[in-house]
């Protein structure tokens, strides 16, 4: 098959019957006023008919800008990340730029390769979600304006725009307490922790859970070693007075294409401890949906025997056999705010300290899995 030759400006000029400089002016938004409107429209129509595409590297050499915004993300099958990337792509195009997205999930070997590809494309700015730990220094020292689409989880000079996960989980836990639940479990993956109010906390979700328990006058206890936790856990679940919140970290493996299996594993580990709490709050909807399937297999009625809540307000949670109480992340608002902030950096504006750390409130969505009637609002 004969390879189609790339159409350049000289070919457009010859087909349109105008000079090469006239084509250059007509195709340049800043210089198009130098040619008559009817001439410019004729050149544009000819270029489109021939399939002309501008030479991106030549454009960068002339203007110093690629007019591309990079979207570097670790997406996989996570709905909230997909939503943020989609809304950000729309906002980028509406601002007159082109999105260039790379999902790091499919890369093996060098962790820096996706970022190197962004730098090679000469993107004007970067939106980053879920960077590998080793990429922070590269991002900070790159000179490319960058905004994180997530809480950083570490000290960094990079600005960030994210859902207020702490507030979302705190409000969800408060609702559970308001419904009379006194034995609450937050099931999380086993990861490294820090300490908040003397309680080891690994994530913003755990922080929100702990804050709500402490604010209600309760105790918050963490279990990282399930083999040693059984008797202590059972004793706490059988206490008849006061409020007890347990953060139970469970070693799980997430298969590439089965986001629900970790929830099955985590909930089965809770069942093996031998005592049900009043409610289990999972770190996301996928875990909660996996737990619901284990409940069905074991004859545990939700919400009659046990309440369950997730986080993220995914489509699957809305239509599950027991509609899932959850927390909605403001993905569109986060994406649009992040793009706006990034474009300010691209235009060399200075951000105040408050503008460098933006958190947008989440919304609890109360459904039947925690005992609410259908259509109940928080």
pLDDT tens digits, 306-317:
999 999 999 999
Report pLDDT for 194: 43
pLDDT tens digits, 22-46:
988 888 877 888 899 999 999 999 9
- State the DSSP code for 229: H
Report the predicted TM-score, pTM, of the whole model to 2 decimal places.
0.83
Q: Which residues contact 185 (CB under 8 A, 6 or more apart)?
A: 245, 246, 247, 248, 270, 277, 279, 280, 281
Measured between alpha carbons, how far is 170 from 199 in angstroms, rounded to an integer? 16
pLDDT at 133 over 70: no
pLDDT at 319 over 70: yes
Pick the CATH number of 68-163+331-361 from 3.90.1140.10, 3.20.140.10, 3.30.1360.30, 3.40.50.2300: 3.40.50.2300
Confidence of residue 192 (pLDDT cuts 50, 70, 90): low
CATH T-level assignment (fold) for domain 9-54: 434 Repressor (Amino-terminal Domain) (1.10.260)
Q: Which of 107-116, 152-161, 269-278 shows the highest mean pLDDT?
A: 269-278
Confidence of residue 377 (pLDDT cuts 50, 70, 90): very low
Measured between alpha carbons, how far is 163 from 149 in angstroms, rounded to an integer? 9
Q: Are 146 and 128 in contact (CB under 8 A)?
A: yes
pLDDT at 60 over 80: no
Q: By mean pLDDT, which of 9-18, 125-134, 143-152, 358-367 is the weakest?
A: 125-134
Mean pLDDT of the chain: 87
CATH T-level assignment (fold) for domain 165-330+362-370: Rossmann fold (3.40.50)
Across the range 197-210, mean pLDDT stands at 73
Across the range 132-161, mean pLDDT stands at 82
Examine domains 9-54 and 165-330+362-370 and report if their fold is the same: no
Report pLDDT for 199: 43
Confidence of residue 154 (pLDDT cuts 50, 70, 90): low
The two structure tokens encoding residue 207: 């922080």
Across the range 74-97, mean pLDDT stands at 90
Q: Please report, for the chain, the start and end positions of each structural domain, with discontinuous segments joined by +.
A: 9-54, 68-163+331-361, 165-330+362-370
Across the range 277-284, mean pLDDT stands at 95
Q: What is the DSSP string of 156-221?
A: -SS-EEEEEHHHHHHHHHHHHHHTT--EEEEEEE----EEETTEEE-SHHHHHHHHHHHHTT-EEE
pLDDT at 201 over 60: no
Confidence of residue 352 (pLDDT cuts 50, 70, 90): very high
- State the DSSP code for 312: B
Measured between alpha carbons, how far is 307 from 176 in angstroms, rounded to an integer? 9
Side by side, which strands form the sheet with 307-309?
219-223, 244-250, 183-189, 279-282, 307-309
Q: Are 144 and 125 in contact (CB under 8 A)?
A: yes
Question: Helix, strand or coil for residue 249?
Answer: strand
Across the range 245-257, mean pLDDT stands at 85
pLDDT at 375 over 60: no
Report pLDDT for 31: 80
Q: What percent of the chain has pLDDT over 90?
A: 59
Q: Are 157 and 166 in contact (CB under 8 A)?
A: no
Report pLDDT for 110: 57
Confidence of residue 211 (pLDDT cuts 50, 70, 90): very high
Confidence of residue 203 (pLDDT cuts 50, 70, 90): confident
């Amino acid at each position: 098959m004969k390879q189609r030759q790339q159409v350049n400006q000289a070919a457009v000029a010859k087909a349109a019957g105008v000079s090469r400089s006239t084509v250059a002016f007509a195709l340049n938004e800043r210089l198009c006023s130098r040619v008559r409107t009817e001439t410019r429209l004729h050149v544009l129509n000819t270029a489109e008919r021939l399939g002309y595409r501008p030479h991106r590297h030549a454009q960068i050499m002339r203007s110093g800008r690629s007019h591309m915004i990079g979207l570097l993300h670790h997406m996989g099958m996570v709905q909230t990340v997909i939503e943020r990337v989609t809304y950000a792509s729309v906002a980028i195009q509406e601002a007159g730029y082109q999105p260039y997205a790379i999902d790091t999930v499919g890369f093996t070997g060098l962790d820096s390769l996706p970022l190197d590809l962004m730098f090679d494309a000469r993107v004007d700015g970067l939106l980053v979600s879920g960077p590998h730990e080793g990429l922070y220094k590269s991002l900070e020292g790159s000179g490319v304006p960058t905004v994180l689409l997530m809480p950083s989880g570490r000290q960094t000079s990079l600005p960030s725009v994210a859902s207020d996960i702490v507030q979302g989980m705190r409000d969800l836990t408060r609702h559970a307490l308001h419904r009379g639940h006194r034995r609450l479990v937050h099931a999380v993956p086993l990861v490294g922790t820090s300490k908040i109010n003397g309680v080891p906390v690994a994530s913003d979700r755990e922080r929100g859970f702990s804050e709500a328990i402490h604010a209600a006058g309760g105790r918050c206890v963490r279990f990282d070693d399930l083999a040693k936790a059984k008797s202590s856990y059972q004793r706490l679940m059988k206490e008849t007075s006061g409020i007890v919140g347990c953060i139970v970290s469970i070693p799980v493996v997430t298969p590439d294409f089965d986001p629900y299996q970790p929830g099955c594993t985590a909930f089965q580990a809770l069942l093996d401890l031998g005592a049900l709490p009043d409610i289990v709050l999972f770190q996301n909807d996928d875990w909660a949906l996996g737990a619901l399937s284990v409940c069905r297999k074991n004859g545990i009625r939700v919400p009659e025997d046990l309440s369950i809540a997730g986080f993220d307000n995914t489509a699957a949670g809305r239509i599950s056999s027991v509609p899932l109480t959850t927390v909605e992340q403001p993905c569109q608002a986060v994406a649009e705010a992040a793009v706006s902030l990034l474009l300010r950096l691209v235009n060399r504006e200075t951000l105040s300290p408050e503008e460098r750390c933006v958190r947008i409130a989440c919304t609890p969505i109360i459904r039947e899995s925690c005992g609410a009637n259908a259509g109940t609002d928080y």
